[in-house]
Amino acid sequence: MHAIANWWDSVELWVAGLPFVPQFAVVLAAMVPVCLAIAYLLDRTLRVVLHVLGRDRVAAREAAVPARSRAASGRKPPEMPRSRVQLALIALLVLVVVAWLFTR
């Protein structure tokens, strides 16, 4: 474990010692794939969770058909499910709050 920590410290010192433009390029080249992977995993996780909860697009489409017949009878249509973007933002907010609580 000490070897990994020493390697990471040397990489940090190397990046911190670079001028701004190369430092920006190195950080960008490292963080873009990491951020894309995190976004992909969050999207897949939310897709599975929403499917299990029955709040995905298929369930919304099936719920929309009977809503038209309910509208004719005067009953209130069911509440539409939240979009995946809203749920992703809520999940991100929860992760930030949890991370903040653990760093206190």
pLDDT for 100: 82
pLDDT for 34: 87
Task: With beta carbons less than 8 A apart as the criterion, state whether 16 and 23 touch.
Answer: yes
Domain, as residue range, for 87: 25-103
Q: pLDDT tens across 45-88, in order?
A: 988 888 888 777 665 566 665 555 555 566 665 565 567 777 77
The verdict on residue 8 lying in a domain is no
Rounded Cα gap, residues 19 and 12, in angstroms: 13
The verdict on residue 13 lying in a domain is no
The verdict on residue 55 lying in a domain is yes
The larger pLDDT score, comparing residue 38 to residue 66, is at: 38
Give me the helices (H) in the chain, please. 2-17, 20-53, 57-73, 84-103
pLDDT (mean) for 5-16: 91
Please state the domain count of the chain. 1
The verdict on residue 41 lying in a domain is yes
Lowest-pLDDT range of 8-22, 27-41, 83-97: 83-97
What does the mean pLDDT of the chain come to?
79
pLDDT for 10: 93
The verdict on residue 1 lying in a domain is no
